[in-house]
Amino acid sequence: MEYRSVRLHTIVLLVTWLAGTVFVLVANAAAPLAGGDPGQLRAAAGWYAAGYALFFVADCAIAVMGVAVAAALDPEGRFRSSAIIVLFALSGLLGVLVDVRMVAAAQLFRTGSPVLSPALATAFLDDLSTACNWLSAASFLPAALATWLAAKSVRASGGWIAFTHVSALYQFVTGLVSAASFFAPQPPLGDIALATAVLGMPLFAAVWLVWMLRDMKSWIDHENKKERIA
């Protein structure tokens, strides 16, 4: 991938991720998923569908992020690039499973499916929320390992490498905190999990990717300068 391709990939990922986050937060504020009211969910169906459709694009971009990272930074080690590509692909795939399920659920909300009848709604919504939460939490872990491996790069600056280690740890902790909040759903832990996943992750990703692009551009400029001198 050339610099322009990596830059376009980064823009698509960040825009769809941030926009999807806003849409889903609006939807969740209007009609919480777990134990939600079918009438409220019907009214918020469009927000859910739009938000998770955007997340689908973002997760597809995450699935190929390993290719962009390998092209931008040329990680050291015989198998490191392959491992980064596979791990980001796994992370993106887990996210895509959530997105597809939620877009389908939004259609059920909109049409007033029988699964939202008083007898079935609570069990259906709790199962949907639980499955999506676990898949989301699990998606952080392969991405965390891929990010850690990316720190072994021949083209990255020392500052980016240090920030990459912090980002990897942040993703790992976010996944663990999210999982722990499902076992112990007290408000403080749940609020922390929500803040770290929904608010913190896009910010970390934005800084990490923009910094990676800057390092890639610096390396390309350095190589072009060497060619002109030669």
First to last CA, the chain: 25
Q: How many domains does the chain have?
A: 1
Contact 168, 144 (CB under 8 A): yes
Considering only the C-alpha atoms of the chain, give the largest distance between any 2 of them, rounded to a whole number of Å. 76
Domain that holds residue 115: 3-229
Residues near 216 by Cβ (< 8 Å), separated by ≥ 6?
A: 3, 6, 72, 73, 155
pLDDT tens column, 42-97: 999 999 999 999 999 999 999 999 998 888 888 877 788 999 999 999 999 999 99
Please say if the pLDDT value at position 216 is more than 90: no
**pTM of the complete model:** 0.90
